[in-house]
Amino acid sequence: MGFCKDFVWGAASAAIQIEGAAYEDGKAPSLWDVYARYPGAVYRGQNADTACDHYHRFQEDVALMKRMGLTAYRYSISWPRVLPQGTGEVNQKGLDFYDRLLDALLEAGIEPYLTLFHWDYPYALYQKGGWMNPDSSDWFAAYADRITRRYGDRVKHFITINEPECFVGAFESGDLAPFYRVHRRDYLQMAHNALLGHGKAVQAVRANCPGAACGFAATNWLKYPITDEPENVELARKRCFELNEPTVTSFPWWTEAVYLGRYPAAAVAAAGPDMPVIGQNDMALISQPLDFFGMNHYTGIPVAPDGTQGDPVFSDNAPRSTYDWPLQPRAFYYAAKFMYERYGLPILVTENGYSGNDLVSADGKVHDAYRIEQLSSYLKALRRAADEGVPVLGYFHWALMDNFEWAQGYGKRFGLAYVNFDTQERILKDSGTYYRKVIESNGEIL
């Protein structure tokens, strides 16, 4: 059966991770621009001031996408580039940049998938309380309205927010900007406000872009069975969606609200008085119908038939990325399967990839066989899900090219293209060439 005829083959990026030009043409600082400078916050004191210089080199990068054979590109808008204060007056030069990028993509025959928010929160709004502020969902709604009005004539696919488990979860874990932790009551309130912002952004897409598809991108460290025995599968499925503590770093907190209109009951009970006040229409706003399930997935947590889970049952022979994430294509198969069974929407893989210690060899090429193995094994697992009836719309590899990897700076490389951050030279890796062949065959060569 394989992938559908119109399967979407893409790669993904995020504005702050590739654009650079952090203080050019009217752009104001984001939360990451400011907090990356705090001593010890980011690997080797690195920042995103220049990153991949995509702001100046986007035409070269679109040509790179075309060379790879991509049919689609997922990218994000930098909120403080287009609205320096987060609200109010727009920065025309910022809007013009995204017009030029969008037109270049369309001219190259590459379908744009636009993410409204991928973590680059305007510092001006953070100073007003950020997602804690009761007005924060309205700030995001106004921003979403501006963007959808401006680009909705050409963009037909939108993602509202990316991985809230991370950008709100940062305030629970302290490991991402702004690199400190807050009380549970506060991060639960932030989460609720962010979800209200998501709901209002969906409304903006529906109002301004009739016929456009809209989704939400969550990440999942999925619990999956180590065997296909029905009892093991059922145990893993149950564990996958269980949430007994009110932690916003776990995907069910978000996906249950967005797709089913409720927070996990056991976690709510455990939160007690720390739960935010939920307005009468809040959950209906948060859970408006969407067009696809945006799935960011890298690895999973295996569950044995006896209920044992986690690191003790990882195979010592499983390849591991430089994040120490094991290659677990079974988890990818079950992620697509479990998410479709529970939420009933077609699956769009909005992120999936592998970080490696890539280097340029003496022949001037980058031979990343491990990433080819990741691509091949994970896409085979995804095709297995499609063969069994899971509607899979497309696949976006993370990432288009090496970039600023948050607190890891430039120390982790995910790209299909290698970037020399001193010269800004791009080199298509072996994986990029392999991916082109996969795209040309619509996955038949896997």
Q: Which residues contact 399 (CB under 8 A, 6 or more apart)?
A: 11, 12, 13, 17, 353, 414, 415, 416
Residue 1 lies in a domain: no
Query: Taking 60 as the threshold, does the pLDDT of residue 312 lie above it?
Result: no
What confidence score (pLDDT) does residue 313 get?
Answer: 55
Within a domain: 359: yes
Residue 67 belongs to domain with CATH number: 3.20.20.80
Kindly state whether residue 33 falls inside one of the protein's structural domains.
yes
Render pLDDT for 18-66 as a digit per residue (tens, 0 to 9).
Answer: 999 999 999 999 999 999 999 999 999 999 999 999 999 999 999 999 9
| DSSP H stretches of helix in 158-241 | 164-167, 170-173, 184-208, 230-241
At residue 315, the pLDDT reads 62
Task: Give CA–CA dist 380/209, Å, rounded.
Answer: 34
Within-domain flag for 421: yes
Q: Does 83 map to a domain?
A: yes
Residue 2 maps to a domain: no
Location of structure tokens 């392999």: 434
Is 351 a catalytic site residue?
A: yes
The boundaries of the domain holding residue 73 are 8-440
pLDDT greater than 70 at residue 178: yes
Count the residues in the chain. 446
pLDDT at 220: 86
Is residue 314 over pLDDT 80?
A: no
> The tokens of 306 are what?
């006896």
* Structural domain count of the chain: 1
**Is 388 tagged catalytic?**
no
Q: What is the mean pLDDT of residues 88-115?
A: 98
In terms of Cβ atoms closer than 10 Å to its own Cβ (0-12, 13-18, 19+), residue 134 is exposed
pLDDT(305) > 70: yes
Q: What is the pLDDT of residues 180-232, one digit of tens each?
A: 999 999 999 999 999 999 999 999 999 999 999 999 999 988 999 999 999 99
Q: Which of 163, 172, 256, 405 is catalytic?
A: 163
Contact status, residue 82 vs residue 146, Cβ threshold 8 Å = yes
Catalytic-role residue among 172, 256, 351, 405: 351
pLDDT in tens, 372-427: 999 999 999 999 999 999 999 999 999 999 999 999 999 999 999 999 999 999 99
pLDDT reading at 310 higher than 80? no
pLDDT confidence of residue 309? 87
Q: How far is CA 336 from the centre of its chain?
A: 16
Q: Is residue 41 part of a domain?
A: yes
Q: 133: number of CA atoms within 13 Å, CB side?
A: 13
Q: Is the dihedral of CA 94, 97, 103, 106 positive or negative?
A: negative
Indicate the average pLDDT of the chain. Answer: 97
The answer, yes or no, to whether residue 275 has pLDDT greater than 80, is yes
- 304: nearest Cα among 314, 291, 296, 289: 314
Asked whether residue 183 is assigned to any structural domain, the reply reads yes
Torsion sign over Cα 359, 363, 369, 372: positive
Give 308's contacts (C-beta < 8 A, 6+ positions apart). none
| Helices and strands (DSSP H and E) totals, the chain | 17, 12
